[in-house]
Structures are given as structure tokens and as C-alpha cells.
Amino acid sequence: MKIICNREQLLHAFQTVAPIAPARSPKAILQNVKLEVTSDVATLMATDLEVGIRYNVTGIEVDVPGAAVLPVARFGSILRESSDATFRIESGSEGTQIRGERSQFKLPSENPQDFPPVAEFGETSYYEISARLFRELIRRTIFATDNESSRYALGGVKLEFNNGTFTAIGTDGRRLAKMEGPAQAVGEPAPFGDVTVVPTRAMQLLERALTEDDAEVQIAVRQNDILVKNPRGTIYSRLLEGRYPRWRDVFPQRPTSTKIGLTVGPVNAAVRQAAIVTSEESRGVDFTFGEGSLVLAGKAAEVGESRIELPIAYDGQPISITLDPRFVSDFLKVLEPEKAFTIDLQDSDAAAVCTTDDGYGYVIMPLARDR
């Protein structure tokens, strides 16, 4: 293989795929990234056998097609630390040579044929969704997942499609985030089942691999895995095994509850202030709505007390609830500061339900007030 490449463009692509390569593995070759070039396209590949990515690289001129296996740490450092604009890369049985205008490196290289195959997107039936919306679906749900859970498949985001609506759900059992938006089915794709739960790590990779310039992404679900394709490449992931909670039951139907309109920025600032005097043992903050204000009160032994008052457009009967400020902030910080949202409250023992006008819902279980 012989190529001339733009260092910055190769670095950007390499940094996208490299996080998938495991730092330790019984199969040493997985600790590398494979570069495969033909006369038409150059593709970087990485996999840990659970998650894999194929990512097309721009800015490459191909002299001789071929492939090379590139060690993540050292090759990544060469790309990152060099100031050369272009590299000439040549790889063969004796290793890989990287030459810049003022630098030269030689790295050992394993046989590219020993690198495990990474799935390509060859589906003719799939779901299609706006890339911008799909990124929001991920960003607004992955923070609520739980990678430590052994009872349920909570270490991932559940995906659903029904009547033109695509839904993503993340939960750790104490709070639940749900985001939905429009999508379409092309052809007759396999349906999303009860176990279409994508690991959080794969969803994080998808978020990084998508850009604002992408128009749409294609998604194909198979029995045990999922494929997601954007204009530059394909990401593959095995699905999590195990039961997922009946998440729809978590969103209560409460016609007599209190609904209060708020704005993200001011509430987030008040929550962060109130949380200053909380601790692991006493992490709850009392939220009291009423008489034109929201009062947040925090108290922790040997730490101190806080009382933050925020004017709001609610003059009804006072209602109080104790919430974990970390969970409230997690919801608020994925939204724009000027965004409006509604909090739906029943009493101090029932879940708080936050919603926006663009398909986002968030449920937080209250804490006991005698903390």
C-alpha cells in the first residue's frame, strides 16, 4: 500500500474510530486500526467484536491500493504531534513507513488479513431519520442509562419505531429520559423488537461520528445487532441481552396534577447553586413551587445550608418535592438555556415529569424528605 494523505483529515478520521479499539484484548490485533484503500475509497476500521466502525477518509491520493494495520497509540500520536501538512504512508510485510516534510517514522505492522471483518451496510430496507434529530435522540437519553445494572438491559438506549415516530429511551431505574421525532421506513425493514437496546458506548460513538453536515442516517435492525450508516461510514453494534422495563408505565397520566412552565437557564443556575451544600449522604434538594416563586433548599450536616429563590409564573397552591439535583441538572444541560419546559407535579411522593414541546420527556423519582 502506498498513499499520500492530508494529515489533519486523517487525524480527524482516526480519532473517530480509535476509541473502539480496546486497550487490552486477548486478540492483540484488535488494539489496532485497519486502513484499507482501493482506487476509489480509503476506509478506516476498528472493532472490539461487540462494536465496530467503518469510516471513509478524505484527502488521500492512492499510488498503490492495499491495507495496513496501524497501532492506535503510536500512530495516533504521530498524527497528533506532527506539524507536517501531508504524509506519505507505505506499508508492506516489513512494516509501515510514515514520511512527512520534516519527519519520518517506521512502525511494525501485523498482517491486515488477520484483522477481523467489520460489517458493511448492505441493507435495501431500513429506517431513515434526520442526522440532527438522531444526534438529539442520543444526547438527550444516554446520560440516563446505567452500565452497572445486572437486572435489566439498562446499559443502553432502547430504540422503537411506530407509525412514523422514532423513539429513544434511557433509564437507570431512578429517572427516565425519552425523546421522539419523525422518521420513515424505506422498503420493509425488520421491526424494532422488545430487545432493541443499543449499548451506551455504541451510542456515544454514533453521536461523535455524526456531524451537522449530515442530512440523514439509515438504520437497519437485525436479530442480534444494529447497523447505522451515514455518508462517511457504518457503525455496527451487538444489541444488549436482557429485559427492558415497561417504560411507558413510568409516564403517569395525571389529569389533576399541577403543571408549571419554566425556562431552562434560570432553573439550571438555581439548581447548581442549591447543590453546592449537598453531600453523598444528604444529596436531596427541596423544590417548593408557589406564590410566584420557586424556592430551592439544600441542607447537609457539616456542609451547610442553601436557599435559592427564583421568580416563576405560578401563583397556585404551594407544592414541594425533594429531588436529586444531579438528575435535574442532567436534564437541563442537554437543552438550550432559553428553552421552555413544563414540570408536572402530583405531590411529594409521586414522580416529577418534565416535558418540552419537541418530543422530550424526563421522569425523576423523588427522594425521601427525611434524608
Residue 149, domain member (yes or no): yes
110 and 222: one domain?
no
158 and 61: one domain?
no
Using a cut of 0.75, tell me whether the model's pTM lies above it: yes
232 and 143: one domain?
yes
Q: Which helix (H) or strand (E) holds 275?
A: none
Residue 266 has pLDDT above 60, yes or no: yes
Residue 370 has pLDDT above 70, yes or no: no
- Looking at 114, 136, 164, the residue that finishes a domain is 114
255 and 243: one domain?
no
Closest by CA position to 264, among listed 330, 326, 308 = 330
263 and 232: one domain?
no
Residue 132, domain member (yes or no): yes
Contact 293, 310 (CB under 8 A): yes
Residue 51 has pLDDT above 50, yes or no: yes
Contact 325, 283 (CB under 8 A): yes
104 and 158: one domain?
no
Give the separation between CA 163 and CA 166, rounded to whole angstroms.
Answer: 9
Q: What is the model's pLDDT at position 40?
A: 86
352 and 269: one domain?
yes
pLDDT tens-digit series, residues 223-243:
899 999 998 889 999 999 888
**Sign of CA pseudo-dihedral 361, 184, 233, 153:** positive
Q: What is the model's pLDDT at position 20?
A: 93
Mean pLDDT of the chain: 92
Q: What is the model's pLDDT at position 369?
A: 63
Contact 239, 195 (CB under 8 A): yes
Residue 301: phi and psi, rounded to 5, are -60, 135
Residue 333, domain member (yes or no): yes
Residue 119, domain member (yes or no): no
Q: How many domains does the chain have?
A: 3
Q: What is the model's pLDDT at position 314?
A: 94
**Average pLDDT for residues 46-75, to the nearest whole number?**
94
212 and 257: one domain?
no
Residue 369, domain member (yes or no): no
- Looking at 57, 80, 114, the residue that finishes a domain is 114
172 and 237: one domain?
yes
Closest by CA position to 328, among listed 319, 315, 341, 347 = 341
Residue 260 has pLDDT above 50, yes or no: yes
pLDDT tens-digit series, residues 7-19:
999 999 999 999 9
Domain range for residue 323? Answer: 251-364
Residue 121, domain member (yes or no): no
pLDDT tens-digit series, residues 324-354:
999 999 999 999 999 999 999 999 999 999 9
Q: Which helix (H) or strand (E) holds 36?
A: strand 32-37
DSSP symbols for 154-172: -SEEEEEEETTEEEEEEE-
**Average pLDDT for residues 304-319, to the nearest whole number?**
94
Q: What is the model's pLDDT at position 238?
A: 95
**Average pLDDT for residues 26-38, to the nearest whole number?**
94
Residue 33 has pLDDT above 90, yes or no: yes
55 and 14: one domain?
yes
Q: What is the model's pLDDT at position 153?
A: 87
Residue 119 has pLDDT above 80, yes or no: yes
- Looking at 247, 264, 287, the residue that finishes a domain is 247
Give the separation between CA 75 and CA 70, rounded to whole angstroms.
Answer: 6
Give the separation between CA 249 and CA 242, rounded to whole angstroms.
Answer: 19
Residue 241, domain member (yes or no): yes
77 and 155: one domain?
no
Contact 294, 310 (CB under 8 A): yes
CATH code, domain carrying 329: 3.10.150.10
